[in-house]
Amino acid sequence: ATETGGKLNALQLGDDAARADIRIYLDADVSVSRALIPAIIAALETEAPRYASGTPEIAPAQSPVTRAYARFWQKLPFVSNGVPGFGLFAVNAPGRARWQAWPDIISDDTFARLNFAPSERVRVPETYRWPMIEGLSGLIRVRRRQDRGVKEIGEKFPGLLKNADPAASSGTGKLKAILRDPLGFVVYGFIALCVRLPGGKGDWARGR
């Protein structure tokens, strides 16, 4: 136990205690494949600053809403082709030197990722499994918090926005995704709409 609670304080305490050059930040409810950690270490064994993560898999959901949302969400280019790092990300020593102490922010994974240009991020094919929150209200609450976290970084660290991921996809690509999974798109779009409606502060909740 520590006098100061919170995830960011825990990350800082871990960094202060760590002696290895490579730092792997892993959420408690994430499970990794046997080959993932060696693959990440190999990807980060360079003198150049690097950020790395594995290939995410969403754990099987119980609620129909979460299943539909997750199914469509996993097809988004940010998730399917990028290096999102939700639940698990890692940096080498030159990469960790990009910032000092962890700032008091909502989205630590977004902050870490945006300290690196897209060309400095490495996605290894080995997988890890990440659970998504169940149910409509939970998804809305978490998505609202996620959006607030991205907005906060833009306000506090505007210089990091230059490292934002490239534009997601073309209109044709989006249309194909919708046609492949119209129900998933409806659920995803409905939640995105609800997030933008006034009201609701979105208390902290696990998942995205």
Asked whether the predicted pLDDT for residue 201 surpasses 60, the reply is no
In this prediction, residue 204 carries a pLDDT of 41
Closest CA to 86 of 44, 131, 118: 131
Q: Where are the domains of the chain?
A: 7-196
**CA 147/CA 65 separation, integer angstroms:** 20
**CA 68/CA 49 separation, integer angstroms:** 37
The pTM of this model reads 0.87
Q: Render pLDDT for 105-162 as a digit per residue (tens, 0 to 9).
A: 999 999 999 999 999 999 999 999 999 999 999 999 999 999 999 999 999 999 999 9
Closest CA to 85 of 44, 27, 141, 34: 27
Determine what percent of the chain is predicted with pLDDT higher than 70. 89
**CA 192/CA 146 separation, integer angstroms:** 11
